[in-house]
């Protein structure tokens, strides 16, 4: 490059940087398409099940009366329900989050097994005790709760 | 060519801002709503506000009178902010049953003394069993229960001044 | 009363900030000697003092738990230990914004009182930019998040602080990150001033370097501390989740690392002018984008965070004005900057350009991964992006970058020959080959951990190669710093690879008296008993650990906090020189059994020791550059003095 005029060196540098960044973008796009965990509700699984073994996220409510610990003491099984009454059986090996109880919202990362059971690798309990009014401008998300309240109206 | 790549960062940044601004205007569905609406109140039998007070049971709700069921606690700051709104509802003739979560009789008395008592009855839920059974995700939360003991409406978070009419209307609807 | 003093000081500071901006802007127009523009330095200094007063007032109301202040009532409780009452002051949105503005003000004051290398017009422009950035945050604080607002009537009890936040690591984590973010804002102001005054040479790089270094050190420490906190507090045994909140702190670090190295090129060789300017803007925009993503709640995160779309909109507005403005300025002015010096591909500059491009690619990959859920949600599909995407895709760029890092520091500036560095090159190659073979033969680790371990060993050796042929006593401090930081990268990488290759995990339900084997240890569950702390009660398990000459008891807890009520798992850790044993107590599993989760993680601590070494390296480099800056100034003065003497002699 030393023989090039200054202007050309800058051009070459810029082009190299651009090419690498475009490669990064393409690689990212490919990775994102193939590695994204898609979000499913139980009714989505009923309507259009994902291929078994693919990593997905399942969101819903823990069905009342369905939660039980298997004899090994560390595997739990429960059903996740959505808005339309479909239930997906879920198993999870591990220590459940502290706020995980029947009737609470849950998001599970894992895979649907060939038998139709969802094997969760992680569980996130959606449970928040920290409500604070707008006047106090405190910890939690007042707007989101208003949205929630609206959705309850329906 | 040279000019073009100088504008590139600005253009990419513009894209990001557009996307973020669009997303900010979209409502979020966080999936915390109770699945209990339209279902009967779960069966419970809880001690009253003091050791001597009568116990509170789920059968009491099936007497033909619609009520509000307010899940609250003396340790909960938003419940303080909510107190005037509950008082206003009580003054408009709405019977309100309070369920104090993980609380002490002395603390309850002190709280009611200080912030007013809108409740027609109060129960103590020391292990949050009713709260969990209701699928309620925090304190405070308020449910409209119709005369047959069926849950009709759920209000998540503290009741603000502009929610009073809405909740009153829901209570009217449940009559 | 104290709260009112704090608020008054805050308003006065905002007024002075406006003055700083106006006076600076007048100075920027070329009127350096005018009466108004002379006010810019004093305005900045007094503003910083007022901000410190205001912040101390906030600390005070938190320390005494003044429940008539709404913020205290919402976030604190008199029963908490003093240190967490004080850290509660910045463990919330309003307090953290005040801390942010205070640090910003202190930086302005430092520029105003210490910056002598650049001319007056440059300093005034930089202070104007700094004031402009601060003004937005002042508006944010005073108009929508006043930390001193009163509550009437006062609350009786405070609501407490999220128990997860009651932790010494987390008490120190946000301020450290903020120093980093704000330090990058100084780089941003300097870059803007450089564009306005058309100065983008080595002087600009030398003036920026201490700020960028300081910011980068803080970010490094902040990320390491945050990662360790998540590791032991979340109880999942992982140290990095590629969560949006984590990415929000990683992205500015990546940009700052690139900036640091391109500044090195600009300072030493006057090359990469436009690129450095752009990185200066990008680095600060990444800290703003990070703040926006975290605070607006448009991305869901595993880390508990206060979110509010309204505040998100405010930050988005600020982001648009600052970063949009800076990129527009860049598009208009950067073309007019004089071209820097040239160099060939095989040179120190070449290696650093390679490092910069790779870091930018990693930054792009992380940014795209973080934003993709947003994009996809806009198109109607909800997705989340996790390690299966980030690990391989970042590795594609990180691996070549680390390979070049092993040899880059050996190259000469401007132009070099392969033959000159043939011997160290062969050495690096041999170490790399030997470590790949050793790892493959003895461990059977996966592809990425194998590459990671081999690279770590190679880099650990290669990072000290610049010492070859030098007298160690004459090696400049800054070079020691860079070698130490590169060695820290190797140490950290070794920890990451070892953790993912060699960790063993046991998840069991056991009765009291049962024994479990994990790694080289045996763990025997003793009693599970209730214990009480200042504002929590807990179930505590006693687990006797034996093996490898260890005989100790781990006590993991499942804690219940009362204000606000919440449960947390407290992991118990046994730290050995060669790794960590990590124990979590779960729920009762029926029939008198308890769930236990145990991990043996060989050399996991190297991850954070590496981070500390990187930061230490940065500190050495900072000291080295400051010292040489002072020396350079002294020599300049001496020359001027001698010239003056000679002239006066000639006149005599």
**Which of C65, C37, C184, C203 is CA-nearest to residue C125?**
C37
Chain A residues whose beta carbon lies within 8 Å of the beta carbon of residue C566: 98-99, 129
- Please tell me the pTM assigned to this model: 0.81
pLDDT the model gives residue C157? 66
Chain C residues whose beta carbon lies within 8 Å of the beta carbon of residue B13: 285, 323-324, 327
Residue of B nearest to C310 (CA): B24
Interval C183-223: pLDDT, tens: 999 999 999 999 999 888 899 999 999 999 999 999 999 99
Q: Do B75 and C564 touch (CB under 8 A)?
A: yes
> Which are the contacts of B39, defined by CB distance < 8 A and separation ≥ 6?
B150, B151
Residue A143: pLDDT band by 50, 70, 90 thresholds? very low
Q: Is the pLDDT of residue A97 over 50?
A: yes
Chain C residues whose beta carbon lies within 8 Å of the beta carbon of residue A143: 308-310
Q: How close A84 comes to chain B (CA, Å)? A: 10
Residue A40: pLDDT band by 50, 70, 90 thresholds? confident
* Helix boundaries (H) for C197-320: 202-233, 244-269, 273-296, 309-319
Residue C61: pLDDT band by 50, 70, 90 thresholds? very high
Instruction: Check CB contact of A85 with chain C, cutoff 8 Å.
Output: no
Residue window 518-577, chain C: list those with CB within 8 Å of chain B. 562-565
**Which of C219, C196, C178, C35 is CA-nearest to residue C127?**
C196
Q: Is the pLDDT of residue C514 over 70?
A: yes
pLDDT the model gives residue C166? 66
**Helix, strand, coil percentages for chain A (3-state, nearest 5):** 35, 30, 35
Calculate mean pLDDT across residues C318-329: 91
Instruction: Check CB contact of B19 with chain A, cutoff 8 Å.
Output: no
Interval C344-359: pLDDT, tens: 888 899 999 999 999 9
Chain C residues whose beta carbon lies within 8 Å of the beta carbon of residue A60: none
Residue of B nearest to C299 (CA): B23
Residue A142: pLDDT band by 50, 70, 90 thresholds? very low
Q: Is the pLDDT of residue C96 over 70?
A: yes
Calculate mean pLDDT across residues C294-302: 66
Residue in B81, B137, B153 nearest the CB of A136: B81
Q: Do A1 and C345 touch (CB under 8 A)?
A: yes
Q: Is the pLDDT of residue A151 over 60?
A: no
Q: How many residues does chain B have?
A: 175
Q: Is the pLDDT of residue B33 over 70?
A: no
Interval C356-408: pLDDT, tens: 999 999 999 999 999 888 888 777 777 778 888 999 999 999 999 999 999 99
pLDDT the model gives residue C562? 64
Interval A67-93: pLDDT, tens: 888 888 888 899 888 766 678 899 998
Q: How close A154 comes to chain B (CA, Å)? A: 10
Residue in C74, C310, C397 nearest the CB of A138: C74
The tokens for C409 are 């520091």
Interface mutation target, options A28, A100, A148, A149, chain B, most CBs of B under 10 Å: A148
Chain C residues whose beta carbon lies within 8 Å of the beta carbon of residue B16: 289, 371
Look at B134-148, C303-317, C483-497, C560-574 and tell me which has the smallest mean pLDDT. C303-317
Using CB atoms, list chains with 3+ pairs below 8 Å to chain B.
A, C
pLDDT the model gives residue C14? 95
Q: How close B111 comes to chain A (CA, Å)? A: 18
Chain C residues whose beta carbon lies within 8 Å of the beta carbon of residue A94: 507, 586, 597
Instruction: Check CB contact of B20 with chain C, cutoff 8 Å.
Output: yes
Residue A126: pLDDT band by 50, 70, 90 thresholds? low
Residue C38: pLDDT band by 50, 70, 90 thresholds? confident
Chain A residues whose beta carbon lies within 8 Å of the beta carbon of residue C275: 13, 17
Q: Do C331 and B7 touch (CB under 8 A)?
A: yes
Q: Do B2 and C335 touch (CB under 8 A)?
A: yes
> Which are the contacts of A116, defined by CB distance < 8 A and separation ≥ 6?
A88, A89
Instruction: Check CB contact of C296 with chain B, cutoff 8 Å.
Output: yes
Interval B97-147: pLDDT, tens: 998 887 788 888 888 888 888 998 898 887 777 877 776 656 788 889 988
Burial class (CB in 10 A: 0-12, 13-18, 19+), C573: middle
Q: Is the pLDDT of residue A128 over 80?
A: no
Average pLDDT, rounded, for chain C: 87
Residue B40: pLDDT band by 50, 70, 90 thresholds? confident
Instruction: Check CB contact of B37 with chain A, cutoff 8 Å.
Output: yes
Residue A140: pLDDT band by 50, 70, 90 thresholds? very low
The answer to whether ipTM exceeds 0.85 is: no
pLDDT the model gives residue B36? 67
**Which of A37, B11, A136 is CA-nearest to residue C73?**
A136
pLDDT the model gives residue C345? 83
* Residue % of chain C over a pLDDT of 90: 45
Distance CA C474, CA C465 (A): 15
Look at A148-152, B158-162, C480-484 and tell me which has the smallest mean pLDDT. A148-152
**CA quadruple C265, C271, C274, C275: dihedral sign:** negative
Q: What is the 3-state secondary structure (H, E, C) of B65-92?
A: CCEEEEEECCCCHHHHHHHHHHHHHHHC
CB C341 within 8 A of CB A8: no
Phi, then psi, of C497 in degrees rounded to 5 = -65, -40
Residue C22: pLDDT band by 50, 70, 90 thresholds? very high
Interface mutation target, options A13, A28, A104, A133, chain C, most CBs of C under 10 Å: A28
pLDDT the model gives residue A5? 54
Q: Do C328 and B14 touch (CB under 8 A)?
A: no
Residue A135: pLDDT band by 50, 70, 90 thresholds? very low
Interval C528-563: pLDDT, tens: 888 887 767 888 999 999 988 888 999 998 887 665
Using CB atoms, list chains with 3+ pairs below 8 Å to chain C.
A, B
């Amino acid at each position: 490059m030393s023989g090039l005029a200054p202007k050309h060196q800058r051009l070459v540098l810029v082009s190299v940087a651009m090419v690498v960044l475009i490669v990064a973008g393409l690689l990212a796009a490919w990775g994102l398409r193939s590695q994204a965990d898609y979000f499913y509700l139980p009714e989505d699984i009923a309507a259009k099940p994902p291929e078994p073994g693919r990593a997905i996220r399942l969101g819903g409510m823990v069905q009342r009366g369905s939660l039980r610990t298997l004899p090994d003491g560390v595997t739990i099984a429960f059903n996740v329900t959505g808005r339309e009454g479909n239930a997906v059986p879920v198993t999870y090996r591990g220590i459940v989050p502290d706020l995980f109880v029947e009737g609470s919202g849950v998001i599970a990362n894992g895979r649907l097994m060939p038998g139709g059971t969802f094997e969760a690798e992680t569980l996130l309990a959606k449970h928040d005790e920290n409500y604070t009014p707008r006047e106090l401008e405190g910890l939690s998300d007042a707007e989101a709760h208003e949205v929630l309240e609206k959705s309850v109206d329906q | 060519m040279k000019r073009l790549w100088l504008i590139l960062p600005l253009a990419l940044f513009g894209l990001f801002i557009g996307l973020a601004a669009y997303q900010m205007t979209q409502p979020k569905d966080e999936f915390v709503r109770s699945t209990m609406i339209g279902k009967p109140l779960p069966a419970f039998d809880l001690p009253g506000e003091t050791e001597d007070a009568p116990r509170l049971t789920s059968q009491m709700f099936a007497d033909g009178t619609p009520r509000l069921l307010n899940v609250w606690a003396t340790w909960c700051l938003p419940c303080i902010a909510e107190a005037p709104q509950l008082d206003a509802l009580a003054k408009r003739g709405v019977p309100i049953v309070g369920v104090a979560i993980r609380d002490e009789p002395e603390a309850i008395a002190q709280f009611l003394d200080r912030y007013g008592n809108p409740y027609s009855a109060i129960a103590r839920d020391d292990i949050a069993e009713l709260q969990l059974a209701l699928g309620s995700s925090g304190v405070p939360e308020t449910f409209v229960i119709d005369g047959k003991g069926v849950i009709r409406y759920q209000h998540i978070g503290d009741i603000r001044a502009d929610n009073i009419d809405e909740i009153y209307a829901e209570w009217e609807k449940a009559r | 009363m104290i709260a009112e003093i704090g608020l008054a000081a805050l308003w006065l500071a905002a007024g002075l900030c406006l003055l700083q901006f106006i006076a600076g802007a007048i100075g920027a127009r070329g009127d350096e000697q005018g009466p108004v523009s002379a006010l810019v330095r004093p305005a900045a200094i007094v503003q910083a003092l007022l901000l410190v007063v205001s912040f101390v007032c906030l600390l005070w109301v938190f320390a005494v738990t003044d429940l008539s202040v709404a913020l205290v009532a919402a976030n604190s409780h008199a029963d908490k230990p003093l240190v967490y009452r004080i850290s509660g002051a910045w463990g919330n949105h309003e307090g953290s914004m005040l801390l942010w503005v205070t640090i910003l003000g202190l930086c302005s004051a430092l520029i105003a009182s210490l910056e002598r290398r650049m001319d007056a017009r440059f300093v005034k422009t930089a202070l104007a930019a700094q004031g402009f950035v601060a003004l937005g945050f002042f508006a944010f604080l005073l108009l929508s998040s006043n930390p001193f607002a009163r509550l009437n009537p006062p609350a009786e009890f405070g609501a407490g602080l999220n128990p997860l936040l009651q932790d010494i690591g987390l008490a120190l984590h946000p301020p450290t990150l903020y120093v980093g973010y704000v330090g990058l804002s100084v780089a941003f102001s300097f870059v803007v001033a450089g564009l306005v005054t058309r100065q983008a040479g080595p002087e600009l790089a030398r003036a920026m370097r201490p700020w960028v270094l300081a910011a980068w050190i803080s970010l490094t420490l902040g990320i390491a501390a945050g990662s360790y906190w998540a590791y032991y507090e979340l109880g999942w045994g992982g140290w990095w989740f590629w969560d949006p909140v984590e990415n929000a702190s990683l992205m500015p670090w990546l940009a700052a690392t690139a900036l640091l190295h391109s500044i090195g090129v600009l300072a030493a060789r006057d090359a990469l002018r436009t690129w450095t300017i752009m990185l200066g803007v990008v680095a600060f925009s990444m800290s703003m984008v990070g703040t926006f993503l975290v605070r607006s709640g448009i991305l869901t995160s595993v880390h508990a965070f206060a979110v509010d779309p309204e505040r998100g909109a405010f930050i988005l507005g600020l982001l648009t004005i600052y970063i949009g403005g800076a990129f527009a300025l860049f598009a208009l002015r950067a073309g007019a900057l004089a071209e820097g010096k040239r160099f060939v591909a095989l040179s120190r500059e070449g290696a650093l350009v390679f490092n910069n491009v790779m870091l930018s690619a990693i930054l792009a990959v992380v940014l795209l991964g973080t934003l993709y859920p947003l994009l996809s949600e806009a198109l109607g599909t909800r997705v989340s992006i996790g390690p299966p995407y980030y690990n391989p895709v970042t590795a594609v760029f990180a691996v070549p970058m680390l390979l070049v890092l092993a040899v880059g520091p050996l190259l000469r500036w401007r132009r070099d020959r392969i033959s000159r560095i043939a011997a160290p090159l062969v050495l690096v190659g041999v170490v790399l080959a030997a470590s790949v073979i050793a790892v493959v033969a003895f461990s059977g680790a996966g592809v990425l951990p194998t590459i990671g371990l081999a690279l770590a060993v190679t880099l650990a050796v290669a990072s000290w190669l610049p010492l070859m042929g030098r007298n160690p006593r004459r090696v400049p401090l800054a070079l020691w710093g860079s070698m130490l930081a590169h060695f820290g990268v190797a140490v950290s990488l070794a920890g990451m690879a070892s953790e993912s290759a060699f960790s063993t995990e046991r998840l069991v339900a056991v009765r009291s008296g049962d024994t479990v084997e994990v790694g080289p240890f045996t763990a025997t569950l003793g009693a599970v008993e209730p214990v009480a702390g200042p504002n929590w009660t807990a179930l505590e398990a006693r687990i006797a650990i034996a093996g490898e000459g260890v005989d100790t008891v781990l006590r993991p807890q499942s804690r219940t906090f009362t204000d606000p009520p919440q449960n947390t798992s407290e992991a118990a850790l046994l730290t050995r020189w060669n790794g960590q044993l990590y124990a979590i107590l779960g729920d009762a599993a029926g029939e008198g059994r308890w769930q236990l989760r145990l991990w043996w993680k060989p050399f996991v601590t190297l991850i954070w020791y590496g981070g500390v070494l990187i930061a230490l390296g940065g500190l050495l480099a900072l000291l080295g550059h400051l010292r040489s800056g002072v020396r350079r100034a002294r020599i300049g003065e001496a020359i001027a003095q001698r010239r003056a003497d000679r002239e006066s002699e000639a006149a005599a």
